[in-house]
Amino acid sequence: MNLKETILVTGACGQIGTELVKALRQKYGKDSVIATDIREVTEALCSDGPYFKLDVLDKYALEKLTIDLHVTHIYHLAAVLSANGEKNPLGSWDLNMKSLLNVLEVARAENLKQVFWPSSIAVFGPDAPKELCGQDASTLPTTVYGISKIAGEHWCRYYNEQYGLDVRSIRYPGLISYSAQAGGGTTDYAVDIYHQALKSGRYQCFLSEETRLPMMYMPDAVRATLELMDAPSENITIRGSYNLAGLSFNPAELAATITNQLPDFKITYQPDARQQIANSWPGSIDDTPAKTDWNWKPEYDVYSMTTDMLQHLAETYHAEALQSK
Ligand SMILES: NC(=O)c1ccc[n+]([C@@H]2O[C@H](COP(=O)([O-])OP(=O)(O)OC[C@H]3O[C@@H](n4cnc5c(N)ncnc54)[C@H](O)[C@@H]3O)[C@@H](O)[C@H]2O)c1
Residue closest via CA to ligand 1's atom 23 equals: 11
Region 194-201: mean pLDDT is 97
Share of the chain above pLDDT 70, in %: 99
Per-residue model confidence as pLDDT tens digits over 81-100: 989 999 999 999 999 999 99
Q: In whole angstroms, what is the distance from residue 73 CA to residue 1 CA?
A: 9
List 145, 194, 203, 269, catalytic entry: 145
Q: Which of 40-44, 120-124, 212-216 has the lowest mean pLDDT?
A: 40-44
User: How far, in Å, from the CA of 21 to the mean position of ligand 1?
Assistant: 13
Model pLDDT for residues 60-71, shown as the tens digit of each residue: 999 999 999 999
Can you give the pLDDT at residue 3?
62
List of E strands, 112-201: 114-116, 119-120, 167-168, 170-172, 174-176
Ligand 1 pocket check: which of 37, 41, 88, 143 to mutate, most ligand atoms within 8 Å of Cβ? 37
Split at pLDDT 50, 70, 90, the class of 181 is: confident
Average pLDDT over residues 115-144: 98
Q: Kindly report the CA angle at 218 between 214 and 221, in degrees rounded to 5?
A: 70
145 carries an active-site annotation: yes
On average, the pLDDT of the chain sits at 96
Instruction: Take atom 38 of ligand 1 and give the residue whose Cα is closest.
Output: 14
Choice from 9, 13, 16, 104 to test ligand 1 binding pocket (greatest atom count within 8 A of CB): 16
The pLDDT of residue 2 is 67
Asked if residues 59 and 34 have their Cβ atoms less than 8 Å apart, the reply is no
Q: Is the pLDDT of residue 210 over 70?
A: yes
C-alpha 195/C-alpha 200 separation (Å) is 8
Please give the average per-residue pLDDT across 12-28, as a whole number.
Answer: 96
Among the listed residues 113, 226, 214, the one whose alpha carbon sits nearest the alpha carbon of residue 172 = 214
pLDDT average, residue stretch 188-216 = 97
CA nearest 308: which of 214, 215, 178? 178
DSSP E strands, the chain: 7-10, 33-37, 51-53, 73-76, 114-116, 119-120, 167-168, 170-172, 174-176, 202-205, 213-217, 242-243, 247-249, 266-269
Q: Which of 1-15, 37-51, 240-254 has the highest mean pLDDT?
A: 240-254
Residue 249: pLDDT above 90?
A: yes
Give me the percent of the chain exceeding a pLDDT of 90: 92
How much is the pLDDT for 322? Answer: 85
- Residues 6+ positions from 18 with CB-CB distance below 8 Å: 12, 177, 179, 180
pLDDT digits (tens, 9 = 90+) for 264-288: 999 999 999 999 999 999 999 999 9
Decide: 62 and 56 in contact? Cβ < 8 Å.
Answer: yes
Contact 192, 140 (CB under 8 A): no
pLDDT band at 295 (very low <50, low <70, confident <90, very high): very high
Mean pLDDT for the stretch of residues 164-187: 95
Using a 10 angstrom Cβ sphere, with 0-12 exposed, 13-18 middle and 19 or more buried, the burial of residue 1 is: middle
The DSSP secondary structure of 88-136, one letter per residue, reads SHHHHHIIIIIHHHHHHHHHHHTT-SEEE--EEGGG--TTS-SSSB-TT
Among 131, 284, 291, 126, residue whose Cα is nearest residue 216: 284
Please give the Cα distance from 296 to 246 (Å, whole number).
10
CA 204 remoteness from chain centre: 24
pLDDT of res. 62 = 98
Render 36-68 in DSSP notation, one character per residue.
EESSPP-HHHHTTS-EEE--TT-HHHHHHHHHH
Query: How confident is the model over 214-226, as a mean pLDDT?
Result: 98
